[in-house]
Amino acid sequence: MRRLAPSIVVLLAIALVTVARSGHEMSVYPSYYPHEIEIRTLAPAQAAGLLRDNKIQAYIGDLTPADWPDFIRPVESLGSFVVVRTNPQSGLATDAAATCALVETVIHEMAGRGGAFVFHPYPVTPLHGDYLYHADLAAAAQARFLHAASDRPAFDRRLKIKTSGSPTQNLIRPEWSARDGDWDAEIVEVGAAGLVASATVAINGWVGPPWLRNGWFQAERLLADTIPDPERKQRVASDLTQLTSGDIDGLAARINLERDLVTALTSGCGTMVAGYTVKREYVSAEYSAGIENIGYDAISGLHSPMFLRTVKLKDFPWNGWLALGIDVPPTAAWNPIGGVTDRFGRLMWDAVGDSALIPSPYEAGWMLNRISDVRGGQ
């Protein structure tokens, strides 16, 4: 495996040479970076037409699937976590066992619904870079919810389930719907990108924390505040402190601690993850006017410095015009330390901020943004 390291020697050599002439281009490029990037706020219907007409090359936002031309390609990332929460005031949630029976019944019902919903009753998903550390726990959770419904106690009345609109309203029996009044449980979506954005810190070109894109960290952000048991809450807080302090003896110990943290987060039934949705953004790969070499984040999709630092224009790779659409207008003022912090401004800051590290496209870690010395093995 090749290793990347900062090329201090290369940069010093460039600084010391006053005049250099050559008939060839540099052999190392930090990125395929167009000389002009236009970012426009567009409604989805308007963006769809501009994509078809090659007036924009990508849209950062949700678009309804359509009969696209062959050159319009989807980019898939984690859309949202789908969570089931019980109502503590429900007559069906009288104790821990009854609460678990209620949630398990609802999630079992959701398992066969399909559509935009992916049944996955574990908070670390296959779209997280650290999923392989949790794959056996995720499989066990799935098996638990798929066992025969006859193993659970029957309820003496029809369940009342509150939903928050599509796609959650399609995940239960129509007769269970309880939009108003009393309800036993509710199904809600929690946006994955928003969960990450709320925990992101950007200071002087540094974006963190380092574990921002790990599944265990997002599971903690999603579920920690819903734990009613003080003892389990303390256990979660202790595991989180140890993980974020770095006081861990080796990789195996870290993986075990991450698994223990997620196990503690999911051991109660008051709030449980039932699955997730996949977000699809669209890009133009048209033969000459489109783009290629597209890197994107498995959590935030195209809304990532990885996209702007890797995307390559087909017509003019280094001196062309990249036209992008986004689904929200700018709202935040300039922050002299953190840049611009709203969704529109963060995309703009990704284009001009030149962070030292950017998210790595194939794992939960980070990679160097600048020129690197690639050392081959012996």
Which residues partner with 208 through β-bridges?
Answer: 201
One domain for residues 53 and 122:
no
Average model confidence (pLDDT) for the chain? 82
Q: What is the pLDDT of residue 152?
A: 65
Find out whether 324 and 37 touch, Cβ atoms under 8 Å: yes
One domain for residues 257 and 328:
no
Percent of the chain at pLDDT above 90? 42
Final residue belonging to a domain, choices 277, 308, 334: 277
One domain for residues 126 and 184:
yes
**pLDDT tens-digit map of 289-313:** 899 888 888 888 999 888 888 888 8
**pLDDT tens-digit map of 307-330:** 888 888 888 776 788 999 999 998
One domain for residues 96 and 190:
yes
Kindly state the DSSP code that residue 313 receives in the 8-state scheme: E
Q: Is the pLDDT of residue 204 over 60?
A: yes
One domain for residues 64 and 83:
no
Q: What is the pLDDT of residue 318?
A: 67
One domain for residues 159 and 290:
no
Lowest mean pLDDT among 43-57, 79-93, 137-151, 183-197: 137-151
Distance CA 215, CA 276 (A): 13
Domain of 159: which CATH number? 3.10.105
Q: Is the pLDDT of residue 27 over 50?
A: no
Q: Is 52 helix (H, G, I), strand (E, B) or coil?
A: helix
Greater model confidence, 35 or 100: 100
**pLDDT tens-digit map of 125-157:** 999 989 999 999 999 999 988 875 556 666 757
One domain for residues 90 and 233:
yes
Final residue belonging to a domain, choices 259, 277, 295: 277
% helix, strand, coil for the chain, step of 5: 35, 25, 45
One domain for residues 266 and 289:
no
One domain for residues 95 and 217:
yes
What is the mean predicted confidence (pLDDT) over 61-65?
85
Final residue belonging to a domain, choices 212, 242, 277: 277
One domain for residues 112 and 210:
yes
Q: Where are the alpha helices (DSSP H) in 179-250?
A: 192-199, 215-223, 230-245
One domain for residues 142 and 173:
yes
Q: How many domains does the chain have?
A: 2
Kindly state the DSSP code that residue 131 receives in the 8-state scheme: G
What is the mean predicted confidence (pLDDT) over 111-121?
86
One domain for residues 37 and 55:
yes
Q: Among 304, 76, 279, which residue's Cα sits nearest to residue 192?
A: 279
Q: What is the pLDDT of residue 235?
A: 95
Which residue range is the domain that position 40 belongs to?
3-71+285-375
